[in-house]
Amino acid sequence: MNNIIVIGSTGQIGSELTMILRKIYSGGTVVAGYIPGAEPRGALLESGPAEVADVRDARQLAAIVDKYHIDTIYNLAALLSAVAERKPLMAWDIQMNGLLNILEIAREKGCAVFTPSSIGSFGPETPHMNTPQDTIQRPTSMYGVTKVATELLSNYYHSKYGLDTRSVRFPGLISYTTLPGGGTTDYAVDIYYAAVRGEEFVCPIAAGTYMDMMYMPDALRAAIEIMEADPARLKHRNAFNIASMSFDPEILACAVRKEIPGFRMRYEVDPVRQAIADSWPDKMDDSCARQEWGWAPQYDLAAMTSDMILNLKKKLFSL
Ligand code: VAH
């Protein structure tokens, strides 16, 4: 990788991934792709080039790839699960028509492509415990439908045209930097903000609802390591299960209370997000990622909680 574009560079993953890629690949170019209304600011804007890059505008994307001699495309453009249920047609347009534009441009210009999948690509019939790498995927959300289709289309472009497409199935991602945008797992971010502010947290996901979760530093490292992996070792491509921790709201609240003893939580279950969460795995088996490209998480729940609370205190109270 040398000249990279991050499409969706101001989102939950993109805002941090762009900065890390610019540090690692300082000899090359890392373009921050964004859409009007979600402009890069601060260090993200000042540390490298930025271009309007709407995945639904193939001409615009192709011009950027030519201008910067892009060799790798991180395609992070997506509506997250709960938003996608409110706007299913827009989600399909961005996630599928946009992906087709990207794959066609990459095929013509020889770019590698990373388009994340998710635990959302699984459905009620998928084994919930130790979810296998290769298993039934019949998601019941529009977000999940687009993620399974993303995996299949990305694999198709690899097998038919030899395109270098690779990806991972992200768990719910937790970060203190950029707020998430309407996901089912976002309660696991919101809880930390409420705890640090000394507020009671109203949890939209029911006790006993286990989901795979991951701290953002591990997720960012996975997105980079998969693209740097030796292609000869890869038996899979789109997309690898990657896991680090699995918990329900009660376990998370207990971890928060160890750092903030007075923390209080009550439940007001959101039926839309609860139905989505119930259809997702409890815990994935990520042995293929470990064997084929050396995946290994570095953060557990205690380490993540300590780091989240420390950094949110700095962010919210300028400590
Ligand atoms: C969501 N955070 O909840 C995203 C993610 C694995 C979940 O795709 O929609």
Say yes or no to pLDDT of 221 above 80. Answer: yes
Mean pLDDT of 289-318: 97
Question: Where residue 313 falls among pLDDT bands split at 50, 70, 90?
Answer: very high
CA-nearest residue for atom 8, ligand 1, is 118
Supply 315's token pair.
Answer: 């962010």
- What's the mean pLDDT in 250-260? 98
User: Which residue's CA is the nearest one to ligand 1's atom 5?
Assistant: 172
186-219 per-position pLDDT tens digit? 999 999 999 999 999 999 999 999 999 999 999 9
Residue 169: helix, strand or coil by DSSP? Answer: strand
> Residue 319: which pLDDT band, with cuts at 50, 70 and 90?
confident
Pocket test for ligand 1, best of 173, 174, 205, 216 (most atoms within 8 A of CB): 173
Tokens of 154: 């990305």
Query: What tokens appear for 71 in the block?
Result: 């060799």
Predicted local distance difference test score (pLDDT) of residue 177: 93
Kindly report the CATH number that applies to the domain delimited by 3-170+215-241: 3.40.50.720
What integer best gives the mean pLDDT of the chain? 97
Instruction: Give the mean model confidence (pLDDT) for residues 248-258.
Output: 98
State whether the Cα torsion 219-220-223-225 is positive or negative: negative
Give percent of the chain with pLDDT exceeding 90: 97
User: Probe ligand 1: pick from 85, 115, 118, max atoms within 8 Å of CB?
Assistant: 118
Is the pLDDT confidence value at 180 over 80?
Answer: no
- Please write the tens of the pLDDT for every residue from 65-120: 999 999 999 999 999 999 999 999 999 999 999 999 999 999 999 999 999 999 99
Indicate the pairing of strand 168-170 with strand 117-118: parallel
pLDDT for residue 132: 98
12, 78 contact by CB (below 8 A): no
DSSP letter for 47, please: T
Higher-pLDDT residue of 171, 319: 171
Structural domain spans, the chain? 3-170+215-241, 172-213+245-283+299-317
DSSP, res 28: S
Pair 7, 55: CB distance under 8 Å: yes
Question: What HEC string does 263-303 produce?
Answer: CCEEECCCHHHHHHHHHCCCEECCHHHHHHHCCCCCCCHHH
End-to-end, the C-alpha distance of the chain in Å comes to: 37
Percent of the chain with pLDDT over 70: 100
143 CA closest ligand 1 atom index: 9
Distance (angstroms) between ligand 1 centre and the Cα of 68 equals 31
We find that the CATH architecture of domain 172-213+245-283+299-317 is: Alpha-Beta Complex (3.90)
The residue whose CA has the least distance to atom 7 of ligand 1 is 172
Within 10 angstroms of residue 302's Cβ, the number of other Cβ atoms is: 12
pLDDT of residue 179: 83
Q: Per-residue pLDDT averaged across 176-183, rounded?
A: 86
Q: Is 175 in the pocket of ligand 1 (CB under 6 A)?
A: no
| pLDDT(278) > 80 | yes
pTM to 2 decimal places = 0.96
Instruction: Tell which residue, 278, 236, 249, has the closest CA to residue 132.
Output: 236
- For residue 249 and ligand 1, the question of a CB distance below 6 A is answered with no
Distance in Å, CA 297 to ligand 1 centroid? 18
